[in-house]
């Protein structure tokens, strides 16, 4: 019998819920990074690229930002 872990539940949940988009303010809040600190790694390919939602607006897939955040090493203070 396969063990159900929190990772398994999270993967199932993310695969079965609609895509939620985050604007820059929400990405800044979620990651704790500033605007330029978000855009700089995008050009280097180290942060998820936004998707265009209109002629003058972009947003990030919540799942992309959460996956990136989870992959970052944690810091203990």
> Domain boundaries in the chain?
7-71
Rounded CA gap, 61 and 45, in Å? Answer: 16
Beta bridge partners of 57: 54
- The predicted-structure confidence for 15-26, as pLDDT tens digits, reads as follows 656 679 999 999
Give the helix ranges, DSSP H, for the chain: 6-15, 24-31, 35-44, 62-71
What pLDDT, on the 0 to 100 scale, is given for residue 12?
A: 65
Fold held by 7-71: Multidrug-efflux Transporter Regulator; Chain: A; Domain 2 (1.10.1660)
Q: What is the pLDDT of residue 76?
A: 64
Instruction: Write out residues in the chain with pLDDT < 50, as ranges.
Output: none
pTM: 0.70
pLDDT value for 74: 74
Q: To 5 degrees, how large is the angle CA 23–CA 21–CA 66? A: 95
DSSP 47: S
């Amino acid at each position: 019998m396969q063990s159900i872990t929190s990772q398994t539940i999270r993967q199932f949940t993310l695969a079965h819920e609609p895509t939620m988009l985050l604007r820059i303010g929400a990405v800044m809040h979620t990651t704790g990074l500033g605007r330029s600190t978000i855009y700089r790694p995008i050009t280097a390919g180290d942060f998820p690229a936004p998707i265009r939602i209109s002629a003058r607006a972009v947003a990030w897939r919540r799942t992309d930002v959460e996956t990136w955040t989870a992959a970052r090493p944690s810091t203990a203070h």
